[in-house]
């Protein structure tokens, strides 16, 4: 299956340079620079040293936590946060490491400037999760990329933001094609846990579990076991 299993954040390659530039450009608020940045090549830039993969990953996790409604320590099991300096905290090494798969996938499939903008939103100091959501929703372009990222986490499948936008009029009934990112991504889909189940074809549970409440895996006298922890706002 996916070879990226062994990779961790420390060894992840630096972010695609073009969006790093456009992100800084937007910080500066110069439209002209943004336009230039969008056509720059993807590598061999002098800015390479300026990128901080660890900080990018933490921003991705903060963004994902707010959008998915699932605690970042569920998204990245070894995440250790320093409350004061969260962007410099350690996104952690975990044996599944699906966060890198999703980060890399988004990087290669999304419009770089939009992904940069989303990460920047998550980096803003003091922005609550509700405010992150409100800010993401206020921009029609980041909104659909944000939905694609949530669908990645929930289902392990990529729905193209353009397809989501094309089918977004309220109450649309339509099939949208999607691509399973990898076998690993399918088995790590969060929606299964959210509904108290497991991915079909990938159960770590034991014989007879279906006879009991999923929050009470050890029988009627066991203590309720939360399948995921909701983020703190």
Partner 1 sequence: MADNCITCDVAIVGSGFAGSFIANELIRLSRLSRKDLKVVILEAGPDVQPNFNAYMKSFYEASFKVPESPYPPAVSDSDENIINPRKVPAGRPSSLTVGGSSWKDPGKAYLDQSTSNRPFKSTYERLAGGTAHWMGLTPRLVPNDFRMNTTYVKDQPPPKNKDLAKDLQSFVDWPIDYNTIELFYEKAEAELGVAADVDEQRFCGIDFRDNYQYPMPKIPPSLFDQRVGQALAHLDDGETQFLGMGRTVTSLAVRSLPAARNSQPYRNRRACAGNTNCIPICPIQAKYDPTITLNEATNNGATLVHHTVASEILVEKGQVSGINYINYGHEGGPKTGCLKAKIYVVAANGIETPRLLLMSKNKGQTPNGVANSSDMVGRNLMDHPQYLSWGLLPQPAYPYRGPLVTSAIGELCDGPFRAQRAAFRVSLGNEGWTTVVGGGAQFGSDPHVTTLDFINGMNSSGLNQKSFSGLADDNRALFGADLTRTLGNLISRQFRIAFPVEQNPDRDNRVTLSSALDALGLPRPKINYDISEYTKQGFAAAFRLKKLIFSKLGATDFTSVPQDDPAAFNVDDTPELFTYGGAGHVMGTYRMGDDPTKSVVDAWQRSHDHPNLYLVGSGTFPTVGTANPTLTLSALALRTVEHIFKNLPSLKS
Residues found near partner 1 in the complex (CB under 8 A): 1, 66-70, 129-130, 133, 136-137, 146-147, 150-151, 154-155, 157, 159, 164, 167-168, 170-180, 182-184, 186-187, 191-192, 194-198, 200-214, 228, 230-231, 233
Tokens of 93: 């090494």
CB of 5: closest distance to partner 1 in angstroms? 14
CB of 128: closest distance to partner 1 in angstroms? 11
- Report the residue number, 125 or 173, with the smaller CB distance to partner 1: 173
CB of 31: closest distance to partner 1 in angstroms? 28
CB of 229: closest distance to partner 1 in angstroms? 10
- Report the residue number, 21 or 149, with the smaller CB distance to partner 1: 149
Separation CA 94–CA 97 (nearest Å): 5
- Report the residue number, 55 or 129, with the smaller CB distance to partner 1: 129
Tokens of 72: 């970042």
**Locus of tokens 């803003």:** 124
- Report the residue number, 88 or 203, with the smaller CB distance to partner 1: 203
CB of 170: closest distance to partner 1 in angstroms? 4
CB of 120: closest distance to partner 1 in angstroms? 17
CB of 81: closest distance to partner 1 in angstroms? 18
Residue 19: how many CA atoms within 13 Å on its side-chain side? 22
Q: What angle do CA 148, 149, 153 make, to 5 degrees?
A: 115
- 10 Å Cβ neighbour count for 136? 22
- Report the residue number, 42 or 225, with the smaller CB distance to partner 1: 225
Task: Say if CB 106 and CB 122 are below 8 A apart.
Answer: no
What three-state secondary structure class fits 64? Answer: helix
Separation CA 129–CA 41 (nearest Å): 34
- Report the residue number, 15 or 115, with the smaller CB distance to partner 1: 115
- Report the residue number, 45 or 96, with the smaller CB distance to partner 1: 96
**Locus of tokens 């988004």:** 106
Which among 14, 186, 34, 220 has a CA at the least distance from the CA of 107? 14
Residue 136, C-beta contacts closer than 8 angstroms, at least 6 positions apart = 67, 118, 121, 142, 143, 146
């Amino acid at each position: 299956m996916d070879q990226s299993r062994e990779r961790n954040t420390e060894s992840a390659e630096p972010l695609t340079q073009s969006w790093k530039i456009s992100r800084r450009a937007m910080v500066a608020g110069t439209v002209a620079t943004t336009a230039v940045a969008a056509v720059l090549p993807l590598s061999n830039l002098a800015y390479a040293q300026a990128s901080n993969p660890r900080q990018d990953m933490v921003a991705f996790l903060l963004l994902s936590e707010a959008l998915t409604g699932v605690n970042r320590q569920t998204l990245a099991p070894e995440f250790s946060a320093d409350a004061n300096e969260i962007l410099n905290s350690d996104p952690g090494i975990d044996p599944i490491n699906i966060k890198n798969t999703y980060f890399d996938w988004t990087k290669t499939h999304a419009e770089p400037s939009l992904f940069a903008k989303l990460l920047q939103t998550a980096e803003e100091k003091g922005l609550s999760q509700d405010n992150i959501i409100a800010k993401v929703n206020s921009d029609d372009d980041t909104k659909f990329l944000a939905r694609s990222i949530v669908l990645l986490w929930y289902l392990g499948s990529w729905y193209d933001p353009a397809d989501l936008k094309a089918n977004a009029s309220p109450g649309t009934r339509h099939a949208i094609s999607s691509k399973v990112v990898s076998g690993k991504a399918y088995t790590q889909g969060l929606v299964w846990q959210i509904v108290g189940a497991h991915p079909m074809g990938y159960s770590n549970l034991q014989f007879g579990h279906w006879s009991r409440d999923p929050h009470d895996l050890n029988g009627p006298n066991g203590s309720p076991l939360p399948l995921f922890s909701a983020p703190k706002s």
